[in-house]
Amino acid sequence: MNRIFLRRGLFLALALPAAGVVAAENPDVLRLSQRLAADAQLAELAPYERLQAQQAIAAYAEAKRSQREALLYVAERRVEIAEASARAAAARRELDSLDDVYRDLLVEASRRETARALAEAERLRLQAQIQAEEAERLRLAAEAEAQARMEVEDTLTSVAGQQAARLSAAQRKDAQLAREEAELVSGAKLPASKFESRGEVIALAGSVFASGATKLSDSGRGTVAALAAYLQALPKAKARIDGFGDGPLGKRRADALRDELVAAGISRSRLQTGGKGKATAARAAEIIVTP
């Protein structure tokens, strides 16, 4: 049994990431590591719980910012669990020692017929047993609290994901209604769009511009009128306009689209422009609309 435990402990020790460098930069990592190092009983009396605590400290040291609060909480609980386990083991060791004393005192009491020695031995044994039971209770409570905290974090993450999905669905519905209104008002069709993490992306074909130029074509003016009506139907939305073309052509195309939208009544503060790479027949400019 001891050989199995030692092999498991060695495996966990080898599996732990090297967090020494991070500890020098993170005061919480240093503080928790020092707590483990300060308790000389941990390595001997609670090696497995100590390794779990080291793993939790290492996971916190390498965690992304969004995970640090939860992992710091778990690391602190793991350190407390290791300390409680060491105290429990020490209490059990003391209990075993006192049991030996108790047996010796029984012999002595039998020989000397002294009830006082028996009473003292029993008192000490009961005291040690109470201490061991209390230490074990604290360890189990800390373990349960850490598990409950992780379950709460998982639940909150799930709820946040569901809320984000509902918000995204509502935004898409608003966009669809605004699109229908814009097409009705302008009398022109808006280009197809797709929703990405950066926003609603509307690609404008090369036919929007006169061949090789920044001047809008007749069809391009109709498209811009529909875009202006769309942005007016979404008064809180902003748009980034990226033009495509060799050299400065892309930026000039984006600026031309912006000027047309401003002339159609869209506030300049809602619009940003930029230039990108080579244009294609299917993509001469791109409008990214964000709520």
Quick one: which of 64, 102, 86 has its CA closest to 139?
A: 86
Q: What is the pLDDT of residue 81?
A: 93
Quick one: which of 69, 86, 93 has its CA closest to 142?
A: 86
Distance CA 46, CA 139 (A): 12
Quick one: which of 246, 269, 247, 245 has its CA closest to 258?
A: 269
Between the CA atoms of 149, 152, 153 and 158, what dihedral angle is there, to the nearest 10 degrees?
160
**Binned average pLDDT, 10 residues per bin, the chain of 291 residues:** 45 43 72 87 86 92 91 93 90 89 86 84 88 86 81 64 60 88 91 93 93 86 95 96 92 95 96 92 94 87
Q: What is the pLDDT of residue 192?
A: 92
Q: What is the pLDDT of residue 6?
A: 43
Query: Radius of gyration over alpha carbons of the chain, in Å?
Result: 35
At position 3, the amino acid (one-letter code) is: R
Quick one: which of 144, 130, 6 has its CA closest to 77?
A: 144
**H or E element, residue 265:** none
Count of other CB atoms within 10 angstroms of residue 34: 11
Length of the chain equals 291
Question: What are the structure tokens assigned to 177, written together?
Answer: 């209604």
Distances (CA, A) of 243 to 107, 176, 250: 98, 25, 4
**Bridge pairing between strands 199-204 and 238-244:** unpaired
Q: What is the pLDDT of residue 7?
A: 46
Q: What is the pLDDT of residue 179?
A: 93
Q: What is the pLDDT of residue 233?
A: 95
Q: What is the pLDDT of residue 158?
A: 62
The structural domains of the chain, ordered by start, are 2-161 (no CATH), 187-290 (3.30.1330.60)
**H or E element, residue 204:** strand 199-204
Handedness of CA 108, 110, 114, 116 (dihedral sign): positive
Determine contact, residues 278/246, Cβ cutoff 8 Å. yes
